[in-house]
Every structure is written in structure tokens, then in C-alpha cells.
Amino acid sequence: MHKLKKLSSNHRIFKGFIMNRKLRNDELDRISVEEFQKIKKLPIAIVLDNVRSMNNVGSIFRSCDAFLVEKLYLCGITPTPPHRDIRKTALGADESVSWEYSKSPLELIELLKKEGYKIIGIEQAAKKTLLNHFKPSLDEKFVFVFGSEVGGVSQEVINCCDEIVEIPQEGTKHSLNISVSVGVVLWHYRNALFV
């Protein structure tokens, strides 16, 4: 067995190749929950319309933390913290991300519209913009609405949206997992603004 020869703190030589070194969690230089809550967030909110899975909700909390989402709204039957199944996938993001429960997604959306948010439903619909053609700007405030794992965004909520955005897909399945969809949309939003 070949031994690794130390080159620097970040690289090692193995069989003549320079190998990169994975960083440990304590080297990632992450901010504390308190610092996170004080920093400026992106002008976006997420609305979950009757999402059932606690694991999905926890994963969405993590994506909201990663992309500096202003607020996460949990509507209808969407489970809320504290719960161990949400915490299992949120890994503490349920404590850093600002969130609120609303029984009615329709009432919440009307309120957010009055606050100046543009409501974007993430769904497959007859009239839509493909995600790769969606061009956000920091001058606008957005709410991205995601629906349940089985039925998606309800038609009543779609009727209230200012625009529908669809994630392009080319395989045999009709949709992505909701937590994956949230991550894809948030990454696209951030990438479109800053790259």
C-alpha cells in the first residue's frame, strides 16, 4: 500500500498525483445562529402548500438556511417544528430560519401580495416560464410556492399566482421531490442574481 506523502495542509501526493483534502466541519467557517438571524437575507420567501413529509420540511429548512431565505411559511397540513423528524433533516436550520404557520395559503398569499411580493408558483401548467428563462432581480421581492408531494400546488393557489415557473425535466417521471425542487429553484435564483 502506498503511503500519503504530506505536501501541504490541503494536499497530499498519492501514487504521484496531488490529492485534494476534504475540509472538516470546524474548517468551514460557518456563522452562528445568532449571526445568521442578524444578517441581511435575500428578498424571497417560500410557501409550502400542504406538504405532508416532515423529512421534506426539514430538508427545505436547510435549503432556506443555505440560500438566506427571509421566511418560510408552512400552510395547511404542513407539519411545523418542533418535531424530531423535522429536526433530523433540518440539522438545526429550524432554529436559524424564520418561519410561520398559516392555516390558509390563499389568505397568506393575498397578504404577501399586499406587502409587494410577486407570487411565483412552482408547478407544471399550460402557461408557464421555464426555470432557465426566469430572470429575477434584487429590485423585486418573490414568494416561491411549492405544493404537496402528490398533488402539487393546488389550482386555487395557482389562480392567485402572478407567474408559474416550471423546472425543465427530460426523464420519464413527472416531478422532482419537493425538497429537491426547492433547492433547484433557490440555487437558480441565487445564480441568476450573482453569477
Shared-domain flag, residues 11 and 55: no
Q: What is the pLDDT of residues 89-139, one digit of tens each?
A: 999 999 999 999 999 999 999 999 999 999 999 999 999 999 999 999 999
Identify the band that residue 145 occupies on the pLDDT scale cut at 50, 70 and 90: very high
Q: What is the pLDDT of residues 21-80, one digit of tens each?
A: 888 888 898 999 999 999 999 999 999 999 999 999 999 999 999 999 999 999 999 999
In this structure, what DSSP letter does residue 26 have? Answer: G
Query: Residue 15 belongs to what domain range?
Result: 1-30
Number of Cβ within 10 Å of residue 107's Cβ equals: 11
CATH number, domain of 113, equals: 3.40.1280.10
Shared-domain flag, residues 26 and 86: no
Query: pTM of the full predicted structure?
Result: 0.88
What is the pLDDT at residue 142? Answer: 98
Q: Give CA separation, 185 vs 33, 37, 51, 56, 79, in Å.
A: 24, 22, 17, 15, 22
What is the pLDDT at residue 2? Answer: 45
Shared-domain flag, residues 50 and 143: yes
Grid cell for residue 83: 418535531
Shared-domain flag, residues 83 and 115: yes
Shared-domain flag, residues 126 and 178: yes
Please give the radius of gyration of the chain, using alpha carbons only, rounded to the nearest integer: 20
Grid cell for residue 186: 433557490
